[in-house]
Amino acid sequence: MCEHCAQAAQESPESQRREKLARMRHSTSHIMAQAVRMLFPEVKFAIGPSIADGFYYDFDLPRPLTDADLEAISAKMKEIVKSNVPFEHSAMTKDEARVFFADQPYKLELIDKIADEDVSIYKQGDFTDLCAGPHVRRTGECKHFKLTSVAGAYWRGDATRPMLQRIYGTVWPTKNELEAFLAIQEEAKKRDHRKLGKELDLFFMHPYAPGAIFWQPKGYTVYRELHNYWTEVQRAQGYIEIFNPIMYDADLYRTSGHWDHYQDAMFKLDVDDRTMCLKPMNCPDTMLFFKQHKHSYRELPMRVAERQVLHRNELSGALSGLTRVRQFMQDDAHLFVAPEQIEDEISKLIRLIANHYELFDLSYKFYLSTRPDDFMGDPALWDKAEEALANALNDNHIDYNLKPKDGAFYGPKIDIALTDSLGRQIQCATIQLDFQLPERFQLEYVTADNSVARPVVIHRAIFGSYERFIGILIEHLAGVFPTWLAPVQVAFLPITDAFVPYCKSLADEFEAAGIRTYLDDRSEKIGYKIRQAEMQKTPYMIVVGQKEVDNRQVNVRTYKDGERGVMTPEDLKAEVRKVIDNRTLDVNIKKLDIDQFIHAEDVDAEERDY
């Protein structure tokens, strides 16, 4: 690790609290496991890690769990908490552990994976578990908990194995924090993008295409407008856009190194006695684009963007609405730079990210992710890359946290986690510095002294994927898109059929001005039409009756402000065009009071429990 990163690794009060939360949550998962054994003595235990806002434990049980079972498990947990017994750490040899866990097949598999001769054991009361820890001191420190749900989970993601039952829960240091968190969870259910996506007719999914999204006209309007915005931003930043194939020979990914690290996530096809792959990422074929021509230092930095459909073979159990799919579109780009241009380009990207997230009133934090254990290439180059990223963050006066060993296999990265209006931290943007792919593809450019040099590649994504970012926006905005993104920007609502022609002429004028409209010409009462437009979260709702027709006016309501009164069509048209052109965030964002929360980091389940 470079010197800058080592300094950043000094623990802050926030990181200390994150670790305390992780200990508490992992400890509560062990308490839950003990309670499950009290009710189901024949249970087979898998793993029980802490996660960002809670914990889970996977169990092999004789029957499906019910809500009544969760209540019974919770009651037993309260007894264990009240007993306030200590968590005691000890060790066993692997042979001793195999004897002790002889009736626990999942634990035996974990023991076989442990490299050391001794294994770590934790005990509370009469319950002992194979565990690397750490834990809190006593069970009494875990009293503010709640079991939240049960789901199915395959052992190590292997769908050929029997499905386990995963019990989720959460725990917080105080009762107030627990209650506030549960209130946020209830609000999150109302904002679930899958629920709102159906109500607003944005998208649907079908068993014939698992992991892919069917965009309805309204949803595709949001998708298209988001892309139009991003294309405009990239052009202003000097990006060029390319369009490459969607299927490649596996040798491309062998050359890039992805085959050794990523092939399980690829869709493979046999074509003409060759193994072909649907493209899972844009970087390897973008290297081919750069290599196609001879380049001069005068062309650098070369900023290359590609809008292409990608495919990744996600496990079926991991698929979730827009946030985890098998087919998606990324907004990533690759910047080919000279070494001396690295920090300046990264500074520009940091400002670009800030401008983008502020457009939607999303707060964000920066993390520096360093060399992983399965890294590729020369450690000295890694140190150089990590130092360049750290320098760019420091030069921009950005506070950041370190994520040791969380970089990509080909380079360290800056990860940007945004916080939505529900206080949830979501990994989205990333800036990755890569010395490895230019080396593997033998990329070159001619320098000012006519020698040949190797460029450095900066991988960059801001949305992550359009699908996932739209899902984030739906929940962050509670389904209320700003006017510039809204599928319908102005709805014309005639009080009776007699006023339909006037509304139709106005709608035509607004459409000619580039404003998306909807004319509700149904023979329904005006109150019903207004309620329907509000349920669709339409930014502008125009009510028209005899008075409006006689005076050539419109009666304006907005989703944001309610009744606005009468205006001339020309004034309204100018106002709507202005909020569209300025991409105004004309939305009342309900932000919950989450300042008291510091969320624990997700940890690798097998790292925590072997």
Quick check: is 413 catalytic? yes
**Based on the number of CB atoms within 10 Å of its own CB, is 467 exposed (0-12), middle (13-18) or buried (19 or more)?**
buried
The backbone torsions φ and ψ at residue 605, rounded to the nearest 5 degrees and listed phi first, read -60, -40
Quick check: is 459 catalytic? yes
Find the catalytic residue in 44, 193, 311, 312. 312
- Report the chain's terminal Cα–Cα distance, integer Å: 24
Q: Which of 597, 567, 610, 541 is nearest to 179 (CA)?
A: 597
Q: Using an 8 Å Cβ cutoff, are 432 and 413 in contact?
A: yes
Find the catalytic residue in 283, 428, 460, 586. 283
- Distance between CA atoms of residues 110 and 120, nearest Å: 12
Find the catalytic residue in 129, 285, 331, 332. 332
Find the catalytic residue in 34, 165, 234, 330. 330
Find the catalytic residue in 334, 476, 573, 599. 334
Quick check: is 332 catalytic? yes
- Distance between CA atoms of residues 148 and 407, nearest Å: 32
Rounded alpha-carbon distances, angstroms, from residue 597 to 18, 136, 425: 10, 19, 11
Quick check: is 283 catalytic? yes
- Distance between CA atoms of residues 158 and 101, nearest Å: 22
Find the catalytic residue in 26, 413, 476, 599. 413
Q: Using an 8 Å Cβ cutoff, are 243 and 307 in contact?
A: yes
- Distance between CA atoms of residues 569 and 556, nearest Å: 10
Q: How many CB atoms lie within 10 A of CB 56?
A: 25
**For the chain, what is the radius of gyration of the CA atoms?**
28
Strands (E), 504-592: 517-519, 540-544, 554-558, 562-567
The string of DSSP codes covering 403-439 is ETT-SBTTB-EEEEEEE-TT--EEEEEEEEEESHHHH
**Chain centre distance of CA 49:** 20
- Distance between CA atoms of residues 312 and 331, nearest Å: 16
The backbone torsions φ and ψ at residue 158, rounded to the nearest 5 degrees and listed phi first, read -90, 105
Instruction: Reduce the secondary structure of 225-241 to three states and give it as a string.
Output: HHHHHHHHHHHHCCEEE
Quick check: is 334 catalytic? yes
Residues with a catalytic annotation lie at 283, 312, 330, 332, 334, 413, 459
